[in-house]
Chain A
Amino acid sequence: MYDDLWCFTKYLIDKFLLKTGKVNYECYFSACKSMIMNKLLIFGFVITIFFSCSEKKKEDKELAETADQEVIAKENNTTTDVKFPIYDFDGLEPMLHKDDGKTYIINFWATWCKPCIEEMPYFERVYAEQKDNNVEVILVSLDMPNMWKTQLEPYVENKEIQSKVVILDDPKQNDWISKVSEKWGGAIPATLIYNKDNRTFYERGFTYEELNKELNKFIK
């Protein structure tokens, strides 16, 4: 977890240094790359072990059962006319554990989060390019309730966002952040990429190239 935090902090520092012209952007990414590669190696090893024993099948079955549970949108009387489904974490959670052969990119964002907005076009572009390749993008908005009509809807409409947009409205953040990933400290942007074999969480922003590179580790 702290590797990721370190990476994220480093990213922020480098971004600042980049602004002041002291380093180039590659500096940040190469450091992160080696870290992420390292992680994937370890992950690969764990997955291999999983495959070699029957536990794997059991787990898949459990995941499938979770996914089969019906997703119920949270009732909210004051905002029933919002165009996007509104979930509490229990409602959202099955989307983080689907076992249908697709690769899911789950991006946690908000309209008030500047780096989130900066990376939004890359998620859209990757979705447009990869949706026929069994890739789904779900944009989980963490906008506050008073922003749903005033900021979120206009943004999605004006930018003609094609990816699926859902709202996560669950103030008990300390209870659910770790359920998304133990590595997540709570800063956004944050992104989860997973399919039935692999799962990686990123507490950082992406460029188009970086996002593609990470996604390529999931799609064959």
Chain B
Amino acid sequence: MKKTKILGWSALLLIFVAAFAMGFTAATEHNLEDGYEVGDVAADFSLKNVDGTMVSLSDFDSAKGFLVIFTCNTCPYAQAYEDRIIALDANYKQQGVPIIAINPNDPSAKPGDSFAKMKERAINKGFSFPYLIDEGQNIYPQYGATRTPQVFLLEKTAKGNVVKYIGAIDDNYQDASQVDEKFVENAVDAMLAGNEINPKTTKAIGCGIK
């Protein structure tokens, strides 16, 4: 009798542990659907540039890759990085890795990020790269962007544009001269040289996308 009881209890415990483990697996599987991870193939898009033209990744025949940067007019962190983004474009466009900047914010929620204001900003700062509006906000959730500024480095390969790095531009938003690690530069250089990128992801404080 006692033996049956113990058996019953162990069976119950086993069921609990199994349910627990299954819960974990389910949660992990779900995670994969949320935006890109390094190694994923990124979708192309067709978004309106500040000059009125539509821009897609497929327009850049000779590109070896792309620095897709979700950024905006209004976020202080995005502003702090503007000059560094311009410098990155100047350096890497000629090496075949142009910058594609995308403003993911909804202008009705953030009037400072309207298309008209984007145009103004692009002209005033002399943006040398496309500055696109994510009209309808379909692209940033696909990429899994959560904040501005956030960089996705893509490498053009036979199977598509593969995500190579996700994260911050460097490790010091406050002062470009105090930067110890230039994450994006190191990542692009490693990609172009065919070396392993390290780190592949970094974190930074940014403005939540609205």
Q: Which residues of A contact B (CB under 8 A)?
A: 1-3, 5-6, 8-9, 12-13, 15-16, 19, 38, 41-42, 45, 110, 112-115, 142, 144-145, 147, 171-175, 177-178, 184-189, 203
Known A3-B30, A19-B109; contact A171-B203, beta-carbon cutoff 8 A: no
Chain A CB within 8 A of B31 CB: yes
Minimum distance in angstroms from B202 CB to a CB of chain A: 4
The answer on a CB contact under 8 Å between B76 and A112 is: yes
Looking at the complex, which one of B168, B171, B178, B208 makes contact with A115 (CB distance below 8 Å)? B208
Tell me the dominant secondary structure on chain B's binding face. loop
Tell me the dominant secondary structure on chain A's binding face. helix
The answer on a CB contact under 8 Å between B137 and A171 is: no
The answer on a CB contact under 8 Å between A174 and B167 is: yes
Which chain B residues border A203 with CB–CB below 8 Å? 146
Q: How far is the CA of A110 from the CA of B173 in the complex (A)?
A: 15
The answer on a CB contact under 8 Å between B210 and A13 is: no
Closest residue to B170 on the A side, CB-wise? Answer: A174
| Beyond A3-B30, A8-B208, A9-B141, 14 extra complex contacts between A and B, CB < 8 Å | A6-B30, A12-B208, A19-B106, A113-B207, A115-B210, A144-B76, A171-B171, A172-B171, A173-B203, A177-B205, A178-B203, A186-B206, A187-B147, A187-B209
Q: How far is the CA of A12 from the CA of B146 in the complex (A)?
A: 10
The answer on a CB contact under 8 Å between B172 and A171 is: yes
The answer on a CB contact under 8 Å between A16 and B137 is: yes
Q: How far is the CA of A84 from the CA of B168 in the complex (A)?
A: 28
The answer on a CB contact under 8 Å between B141 and A171 is: no
Name the residue in B31, B76, B171 with the highest tally of chain A Cβ atoms < 10 Å from its Cβ.
B76
The answer on a CB contact under 8 Å between A42 and B203 is: no
Chain A CB within 8 A of B194 CB: no
8 pairs, A vs B, C-beta closer than 8 Å: A5-B34, A12-B208, A19-B108, A42-B20, A42-B24, A144-B76, A172-B171, A187-B209
Minimum distance in angstroms from B12 CB to a CB of chain A: 14
Name the residue in A5, A6, A12, A145 with the highest tally of chain B Cβ atoms < 10 Å from its Cβ.
A12
Known A5-B35, A112-B76, A185-B146; contact A174-B204, beta-carbon cutoff 8 A: yes
